[in-house]
Structure 1
């Protein structure tokens, strides 16, 4: 019988200490699903003067030309490939293994933390955890694309409006390098969800050290070559405007989740676009990530302690993973586990040799690439000789 363990969402750690996030790498992803390591060609720059709001910008325009890049059958939107390639390049430069207990994406950690705050029916957590070379690598299982093909539906227009908002408020180069004609054509620029710029950040909670990959929507002011750019990044969000008490409460729950998304990797600024029922952009507001816990404490009694509570649950779930899953330093063997949400707890079960997924997860490349495993073996052998 393989390892099995549960963690109930009521569990909290006594720790509230967080490690200051630090950027250790970055990469770009193209619409063709290519990963460009230590390449910032897909970085975007925020530029949206207030006068643009007078143009009644339509956040649903161009929806029929939207380039949806995640519909291909062989497309794995949750792949660790780019993240692992960046970690490998970082380790080659340093000539040592990155100091971390867990390597995954910010979105995975956000989902795990959200389990303690969302209604059970909204908690879809389906993860694979691989213990290899003294570290845990966590990958989300890809879901089939579920959006309706009807581009006129509210669901599809809401989904698309986020990408359109990014198109309307960002540039592919700093403003000084962008010709006026490009600026004027922004409302007609075709949207896609394939081009991405991602940061790789080392952070931690309590005694657990993490390396997290995260998509970055834009640089708010300027970027620095060869430097940690975390302090320059911003998160872009788009939502329906707030015009009632109930809508204000819904928005506060949204901004709590956005805070969670940003604090995990140290993104300091959040920019929200507010639209009306006809998807016309009406206003844009900026929020500083570190001020959101105070805002929630002052405005929503139900979320008074939510941010600190999230940190304590973050500490509890990472402690549980590190205490439960054996981590051998060997680069020759690995073990794999399924981690999912069930009722009111996270459930961890070992994937054993007779399991249908064993060949892909343990022996194959569905989580860790052969390139990365070979690199770690090379690094371990080099260390043994020294």
Structure 2
């Protein structure tokens, strides 16, 4: 049986936005220069410091965002990383809490060791849901698997699988998502969702390095590997000559919520302004870095629509992780940086409303809240579901495809770890 989430009557999602919990980081992880995962490590955290150009008294110079890419160090995208980074870090975080509890720290109880939420996912996948109402060019396909359904909290994980290209299509991009469903009952079910983007038309070439290289170069010349006070002038001025690599990454894991659904999201953040605050309850001044060609004449409706589509992606990505500012490096057609514009994430929806009004932030949030409730109510019990939305479709389909669990979505080590925690919780409850 197929269940569908209707995208035709969007007016039912209009109006005042649903409640939102401010994202708060509770854990993080890094990938180092070799793209080796390091849970709970801030090794790859970067600090924002803009490139110096166009300043009074400085010889005119425009950084070349296409320079140096013959030495570009690109990570191996053929390796399917699944949910490993997210789950390994979540496990490390919970194990650290368990050590504190076993050490007798009063504030840690076994019932609070396992991180509970309705949805645990990569930020990239939630971005697709948040923008689906106004993005007719996007499509996605997810798999959902439920397992171990006798715990107080229902856990749902979502993961994107790489699909090999065949005669009917070209290569597909890969992202990942995990969701955790929890409705507070004594009987629950653990589920895993996986997502695959449909293949591109076979005549469409794979994007070349030059498509994405300006963004990596802009990030390289806009960040430092240590706070400004601990960085030498030579390090600041030599950034344009550094070899660009997309192996290092700093990923933030946050608790947040949209409507009735609580979430844990994980995603890469580009850099922080000055430093992260010491208190975990304080907002972190993250900076998202983007590059773009100079926008056309925004009084022209076509150019305004094109520009606001970019703003939709900028806003959604930053909104979900609580990134307050976006720095956009505008470039010439041949790749030279011309200026940097600062956007405040929270003000982007109002900016669009004053412009061509091609999308509505409140509607996006309301729709996402409704879809998450629909998802956690639909994906229950054992088996595998497909969650699918094709380009230009005005619906999201959810239908069962198999009756068995997809064992490769959640690592065995993570499942074993969660079973241990569940056993400890049961033992503690029986001891009361």
The TM-score by the shorter chain falls in which range?
A: 0.7 to 0.9
Secondary structure of the structure 1 residue equivalent to 2:29: strand
Instruction: Verify: 1:175 aligned to 2:228, yes or no.
Output: yes
8 Å Cα contact 1:31/1:69 also seen in 2: no
Distance 1:128 1:146, change over 3 A: closer
Q: CA deviation at 1:228?
A: 5.2
* Corresponding residue for residue 101 of structure 1: 118
CA–CA separation in structure 2 for the residues paired with 1:35 and 1:230 = 25
* Corresponding residue for residue 64 of structure 1: 70
Q: CA deviation at 1:7?
A: 1.2
Write the deviation string for residues 272-320 of structure 1: whole angstroms up to 9, x where unpaired: 00001111000001111111111111122333xx101101111111011
* Corresponding residue for residue 7 of structure 1: 5
Secondary structure of the structure 1 residue equivalent to 2:162: coil
CA–CA separation in structure 2 for the residues paired with 1:227 and 1:206 = 23
Equivalent in 317, 328, 340 of residue 261 of structure 1: 317
Write the deviation string for residues 342-362 of structure 1: whole angstroms up to 9, x where unpaired: 332212222424xxxx5xxx3
Task: Identify which range, 214-223 or 27-36, moves more after superposition.
Answer: 27-36
Distance 1:117 1:248, change over 3 A: closer
8 Å Cα contact 1:102/1:138 also seen in 2: no
Task: Identify which range, 7-16 or 240-249, moves more after superposition.
Answer: 7-16
* Corresponding residue for residue 338 of structure 1: 386
Segments of structure 2 that go 5 or more residues without pairing to the other structure are 98-107, 165-170, 174-205
* Corresponding residue for residue 376 of structure 1: 418
Distance 1:107 1:349, change over 3 A: same
Where do residues 211-226 of structure 1 align in structure 2 (5 Å cutoff)?
A: 211-225=264-278
Q: CA deviation at 1:179?
A: 1.9
Q: CA deviation at 1:142?
A: 3.0
8 Å Cα contact 2:64/2:337 also seen in 1: yes
Write the deviation string for residues 157-176 of structure 1: whole angstroms up to 9, x where unpaired: 23111111100101111112
* Corresponding residue for residue 132 of structure 2: 115
Write the deviation string for residues 98-156 of structure 1: whole angstroms up to 9, x where unpaired: 1201111110011123222112xx32312233334512111122366679xxxxx9953
* Corresponding residue for residue 209 of structure 2: 156
Q: CA deviation at 1:206?
A: 1.0
Whose helix proportion is higher, 1 or 2?
1
* Corresponding residue for residue 145 of structure 2: 130
Where do residues 1-386 of structure 1 align in structure 2 (5 Å cutoff)?
A: 4-10=2-8, 12=12, 16-48=18-50, 51=53, 54-72=60-78, 75-77=79-81, 79-92=82-95, 93=97, 95=110, 96-119=113-136, 122-132=137-147, 134-142=154-162, 156-225=209-278, 227=280, 230-245=283-298, 246-303=302-359, 306-326=360-380, 335-342=383-390, 343-353=393-403, 362=405, 364-365=407-408, 367-386=409-428
8 Å Cα contact 2:276/2:284 also seen in 1: no
8 Å Cα contact 1:58/1:280 also seen in 2: yes
Secondary structure of the structure 2 residue equivalent to 1:20: strand
Segments of structure 1 that go 5 or more residues without pairing to the other structure are 148-152, 328-333
Q: CA deviation at 1:236?
A: 0.6
Q: CA deviation at 1:83?
A: 0.9
8 Å Cα contact 2:22/2:256 also seen in 1: yes
Q: CA deviation at 1:271?
A: 0.7
Q: CA deviation at 1:214?
A: 1.0
Question: CA RMSD for the aligned pairs?
Answer: 2.4
Secondary structure of the structure 2 residue equivalent to 1:51: coil
Distance 1:234 1:130, change over 3 A: farther
Structure whose CA Rg is larger: 2
Q: TM-score, normalised by structure 2?
A: 0.77
CA–CA separation in structure 2 for the residues paired with 1:231 and 1:204 = 17
Q: TM-score, normalised by structure 1?
A: 0.85
Write the deviation string for residues 55-107 of structure 1: whole angstroms up to 9, x where unpaired: 211110112221221344xx115x21111122223333154221201111110
8 Å Cα contact 1:126/1:141 also seen in 2: no
Secondary structure of the structure 2 residue equivalent to 1:41: coil
CA–CA separation in structure 2 for the residues paired with 1:130 and 1:26 = 26
Write the deviation string for residues 208-244 of structure 1: whole angstroms up to 9, x where unpaired: 0111101100002212346357521111100001242
